[in-house]
């Protein structure tokens, strides 16, 4: 039987145009054309960073040796464990969560082992909420669990604190066998976690030096848990490679990532659309919007440009779910402040079809649903939203996946990573650092008594003091 041909995802920009939503809120062909030379210059910079090896995410789809290593590890270990638990946060968790939600059964962990095709249950612990973490320990048997500790440096407080708890439990219950229940994903040579790996004897995978956390879903950070959940990582990377080739030239008429970056940049800086709403009409893709939020916010939200000038750049990403949020947010979206650009995510063919029975024929409010499908209903809801937003002069575009497959999801993730890197060039900022998160880390380290931070303690404590008059 011939292998099914994978289709490209499509991006429909019709409803961001001035013709659709007016000159004040929409973008004209002339405004796009004015960016052609600038786009070519930005493309040249992106290519140079890629060729020099400075920025590595572009080449992640082409990792045959790594794929073989991961698949070999999964074959060796999956039958030995009932649970696979990721210990990570931010870029070490959101991609993992997005892949599991998109590409596995919506209630995957509730299926029995046979229905999971022999793969373990997957948990991603992306916070240090004590009740949440203790709750996980209530429902898993550590003796039947493989933990994947992810931290490039080994100094990230959240996953390392989780690890310290898990290590103690494993040592108490398993003794010398404990190291066989932990796989680390970290830097190749440096960092505290690499040192711990050598001392404890953990198996490990490498996070490339030139790939930051929010761009790391196609590294072992995301691929190991995906493969351990039975997801076809070869197809995921093939989809990413297809998008990489599609976005290899600066022609805005043919490059969806670049055009989307330009559209969002113009919307933000020229049209007052300071928020970017991603609204998938699919529960499976809802958590891709979480992944996008970190990618877009942490990459582009910068105080200074590359020259050191204060610019306070960035567009606030918001996630919504269709059709759910038509009943919670759409009122604001259509009649509230016109300060948003919307991306609706459509699925042409869902993996399942649910038919609505022909009952209640006497009630006009219900009769019309009979004989239709939920598939038809959610698509009608999505189209209705595009019409409502457009009528209210709210610029909106639609990303359509032919199906929710590893190939299609790989395309989508790669497109948004390329779009984000390119948008960084448009804004003139560095999309690969995150200086704004350091102040919070330093305060937390100080409050927790980390060595080397004692001198900062008085300053931190003085800033914590509150005026009782303003506390009710």
* Total-model pTM: 0.96
Is 105 annotated as catalytic?
no
Indicate which residue of 234, 298, 379, 417 is catalytic: 298
- Mean pLDDT over all residues of the chain? 97
Taking the C-alpha atoms of residue 83 and residue 80, their distance in angstroms, rounded to an integer, is: 9
Is 327 annotated as catalytic?
yes
Taking the C-alpha atoms of residue 29 and residue 32, their distance in angstroms, rounded to an integer, is: 5
Cβ atoms 42, 425 nearer than 8 A: yes
The dihedral sign for the CA sequence 218, 125, 319, 437: negative
Note the pLDDT tens digit of each residue in 165-186: 999 999 999 999 999 999 999 9
Is 362 annotated as catalytic?
no
Decide if 10-51+236-427 and 57-233 have a common fold: yes
Q: How far is CA 136 from the centre of its chain?
A: 23
Tell me how many degrees the CA angle 161-166-172 measures, rounded to the nearest 5. Answer: 135
Taking the C-alpha atoms of residue 172 and residue 439, their distance in angstroms, rounded to an integer, is: 37
Residues with Cβ within 8 Å of 32's Cβ and at least 6 positions away in sequence, in order, are: 252, 259, 262, 263, 266
Indicate which residue of 327, 455, 465, 466 is catalytic: 327
Q: Which of 67, 81, 144, 143 is nearest to 116 (CA)?
A: 81
Q: Label each residue of 273-301 as H, E or C.
A: CCEEEEEECCHHHHHHHHHHHHHHHHHHC
Least confident range from 11-15, 40-44, 117-121, 465-469: namely 465-469
Q: Specify burial of residue 305 (Cβ count, 10 A radius: 0-12, 13-18, 19+).
A: middle
Indicate which residue of 173, 309, 372, 441 is catalytic: 441
Does residue 1 carry a pLDDT above 60?
no
Does residue 279 carry a pLDDT above 70?
yes
Superfamily of domain 10-51+236-427: Glucose-6-phosphate isomerase like protein; domain 1 (3.40.50.10490)
Does residue 2 carry a pLDDT above 60?
no
Phi, psi of 147, deg, nearest 5: -105, 135
Whole-number pLDDT of residue 4: 66
Q: Going edge to edge, which strands form the sheet with 396-403? A: 10-12, 396-403, 340-349, 275-280, 316-319
Note the pLDDT tens digit of each residue in 333-355: 999 999 999 999 999 999 999 99
Per domain, the residue ranges of the chain are: 10-51+236-427, 57-233, 435-470
The dihedral sign for the CA sequence 31, 34, 37, 41: negative
Does residue 5 carry a pLDDT above 80?
no
Residues with Cβ within 8 Å of 125's Cβ and at least 6 positions away in sequence, in order, are: 85, 86, 87, 88, 93, 132, 133, 136, 162
Using DSSP bridges, classify how beta strands 121-125 and 182-186 pair: parallel, antiparallel or unpaired: unpaired
Alpha helices in 247-357 (DSSP H): 256-269, 283-300, 330-335
Output 445 or 175, whichever has higher pLDDT.
175
Whole-number pLDDT of residue 3: 60
* Topology (CATH) of 57-233: Rossmann fold (3.40.50)
């Amino acid at each position: 039987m011939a292998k099914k041909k994978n289709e490209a995802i499509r991006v429909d920009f019709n409803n961001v145009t001035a013709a659709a939503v007016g000159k004040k809120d929409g973008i004209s062909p002339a405004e796009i054309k004015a960016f052609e030379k600038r786009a070519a210059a930005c493309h040249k910079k992106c290519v140079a960073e890629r060729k020099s090896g400075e920025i590595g995410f572009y080449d992640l789809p082409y990792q045959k040796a790594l794929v073989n290593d991961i698949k070999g590890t999964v074959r060796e270990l999956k039958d030995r464990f009932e649970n696979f638990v990721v210990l990570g946060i931010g870029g070490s968790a959101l991609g993992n969560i997005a892949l599991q939600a998109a590409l596995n059964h919506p209630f995957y962990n509730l299926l029995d082992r046979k229905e999971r095709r022999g793969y373990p249950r997957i948990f991603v612990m992306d916070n240090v909420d004590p009740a949440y973490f203790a709750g996980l320990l209530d429902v898993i048997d550590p003796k039947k669990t493989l933990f994947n500790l992810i931290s490039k440096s080994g100094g990230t407080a959240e996953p390392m604190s989780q690890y310290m708890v898990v290590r103690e439990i494993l040592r108490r219950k398993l003794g010398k066998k404990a190291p066989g229940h932990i796989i680390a994903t970290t830097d190749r040579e440096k960092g505290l976690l690499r040192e711990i790996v050598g001392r404890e004897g953990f198996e490990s995978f490498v996070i490339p030096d030139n790939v930051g956390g929010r761009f790391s879903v196609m590294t072992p950070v995301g691929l190991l848990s995906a493969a351990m959940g039975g997801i076809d990582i070869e197809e995921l990377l093939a989809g990413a490679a297809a998008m990489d080739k599609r976005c290899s030239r600066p022609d805005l008429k043919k490059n969806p990532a670049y055009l989307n970056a330009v559209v969002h940049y113009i919307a933000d800086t020229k049209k007052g659309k300071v928020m970017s709403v991603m609204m998938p009409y699919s529960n499976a893709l809802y958590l891709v919007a979480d992944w996008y939020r970190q990618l877009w916010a942490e990459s582009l939200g910068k105080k200074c440009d590359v020259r050191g000038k204060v610019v306070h750049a960035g567009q606030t990403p918001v996630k919504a779910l269709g059709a759910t949020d038509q009943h919670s947010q759409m009122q604001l979206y259509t009649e509230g402040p016109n300060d948003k650009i919307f991306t609706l995510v459509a699925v042409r063919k869902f993996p399942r079809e649910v038919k609505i029975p022909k009952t209640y024929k006497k009630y006009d409010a219900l009769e019309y649903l009979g004989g239709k499908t939920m598939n038809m209903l959610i698509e009608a809801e999505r189209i209705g939203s595009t019409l409502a937003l457009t009528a209210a002069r709210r610029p909106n575009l639609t990303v359509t996946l032919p199906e929710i497959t590893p190939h299609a999801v790989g395309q989508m993730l790669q497109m948004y990573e390329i779009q984000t890197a390119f948008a960084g060039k448009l804004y003139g900022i560095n999309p690969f650092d995150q200086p704004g998160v350091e102040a919070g880390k330093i305060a937390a380290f100080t409050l927790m008594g980390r060595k080397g931070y004692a001198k900062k303690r008085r300053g931190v404590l003085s800033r914590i003091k509150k005026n009782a008059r303003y506390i009710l």
